[in-house]
Amino acid sequence: MFNPIGGTHEHSYFLRGLDQLLMDLVINPDIADYLAAKVSEWTSAYFTYVLKEIGDFVDIVQVGDDLGTTNGLIFSRNMYLKYYKQRERSLIDAIKKVSDARIYFHSCGSIREVIPDLIDIGVEILNPVQIQARNMESADLKKDFGKDLTFWGGGCDPRILTTGTRKQVADEVRKRIEDFSKDGGFVFASVHNIQANDPPENIITMFETALEYRQCFEHSVSSHPAFFKKSSGNSISAFFSCRLRALRRTDILLADFVEALFQPGVERPVYEEIFIVEGKIFFVRVCRGFDLQKL
C-alpha cells in the first residue's frame, strides 16, 4: 500500500517550507513539535481508516520520511529522537493494530545513523538504500542490519547506471547482489527512480544481470523474517522491483519495454513500480501511463 501523504517530517515541511521548518526545530520548537504531533495523529487516522477496510489484502504498507542528504542526516539524530521517532512509532503501531502488513520505510540519503532507531520502531523493509551516499556501503549495511531488515533497492549505483559502460553496470549489479543477498532479505531494485538520461542499454544490462544472478538470492523474499507474509504463484526468488516510468501493458519483454520507453516524442508518464519475472514484465502499478498497443 503506497503512502500518498508523506511522512511526519515531510508533511511538516510541506506546510511550513523546508527552510522554515529546519529553523523551527531550533528556534521555534513548540511549532515544530505541534506540527509533528498533528501530522502523526492525522496520518495514523488515515491508515487506520483505510486498513480497517482492506488490511487483510495488504502485504506491505509504505511509510517514510526523507531524513538524509548524500553526506548525512538533514538534521541531527537528537532532533530525530526529539520530534519524530516516537511519532513514527505511533504511526507504525496504529498500522499494526489493523493489519499484519510488513512496514516498508522510504528514506533517501545517508541515514545509517538512525537505522537502529527505525528497526526499534518496527520498520522491516528499507528503501531505496542509497548506496552511493556516505556510510551506506552495501556490505556494511547487510552485515550490521541484515538480520532485522529487508533491503529493497541498492541494486546499482545510479552514477554507474547513468555514465558507466555495460560491463561496469554488470559488475556493479553483481557486487550489490552478492553483498545484499546472503541469507535472504533483498529485493533487487534501482536506487530510487531510473532517470530519463540513463542509457537504455544500461537499464537492460542491469535487469539482465540481475536475472542471471537470481540464484544468488534464491530465498531473498520467501524465507526472510522481515518480508512477505503471503506468497503464491511464480518463483518468488525471481522477484524484482524498480521504480520506473509506468506502462499499461504487462505482457512484453524487458528489451521491448525499454526501447518503447525511450522513443523520441513519447510523453513521460508518472513512474510507479514494475515487477519482472524471467525477463518478462508481469505487473506494473500504474498512476498515469501511456498505451503500448503496438507491442
What is residue 124's predicted lDDT score, i.e. its pLDDT? 93
Distance in angstroms (rounded) separating the CA atoms of residues 5 and 7: 7
Cell numbers given for 260: 518503447
Q: Which residue has the higher pLDDT, 192 or 73?
A: 73
Integer-rounded Cα radius of gyration of the chain: 19
Q: Report, as an integer, the average pLDDT of 61-88.
A: 95
Confidence band for 213, pLDDT divided at 50, 70 and 90: confident
- Give the bridge partners for 244, in sequence order: 272
What is residue 66's predicted lDDT score, i.e. its pLDDT? 92
Q: Which residue has the higher pLDDT, 24 or 187?
A: 24
Identify the CA nearest to 121 among candidates 137, 103, 139, 140: 103
Distances, alpha carbon 281 to alpha carbons 177, 199, 246, 254, 275, in Å = 20, 19, 11, 6, 6
Q: Which residue has the higher pLDDT, 198 or 69?
A: 69
Confidence band for 197, pLDDT divided at 50, 70 and 90: confident
Confidence band for 266, pLDDT divided at 50, 70 and 90: low
Residue 118 has pLDDT above 90, yes or no: yes
Q: Across the chain, what does the average pLDDT equal?
A: 79
What is residue 133's predicted lDDT score, i.e. its pLDDT? 96
What is residue 188's predicted lDDT score, i.e. its pLDDT? 85
Q: Report, as an integer, the average pLDDT of 107-126.
A: 96
Contact assessment for residue 105 and residue 151, using Cβ atoms and an 8 Å cutoff = no
Q: Which residue has the higher pLDDT, 101 or 195?
A: 101
Q: Which residue has the higher pLDDT, 4 or 118?
A: 118
Q: Which residue has the higher pLDDT, 142 or 265?
A: 142
Confidence band for 219, pLDDT divided at 50, 70 and 90: very low
Confidence band for 226, pLDDT divided at 50, 70 and 90: very low
Residue 56 has pLDDT above 70, yes or no: yes
Least confident of 84-98, 129-143, 214-228: 214-228
Distance in angstroms (rounded) separating the CA atoms of residues 181 and 214: 9
Least confident of 53-67, 89-103, 233-247: 233-247
Q: Report, as an integer, the average pLDDT of 29-47.
A: 95
Residue 61 has pLDDT above 60, yes or no: yes
Distances, alpha carbon 88 to alpha carbons 93, 123, 124, 137, 218, in Å = 9, 10, 13, 25, 33
Q: Report, as an integer, the average pLDDT of 179-183.
A: 86
Residue 284 has pLDDT above 50, yes or no: no
Least confident of 82-86, 178-182, 255-259: 255-259
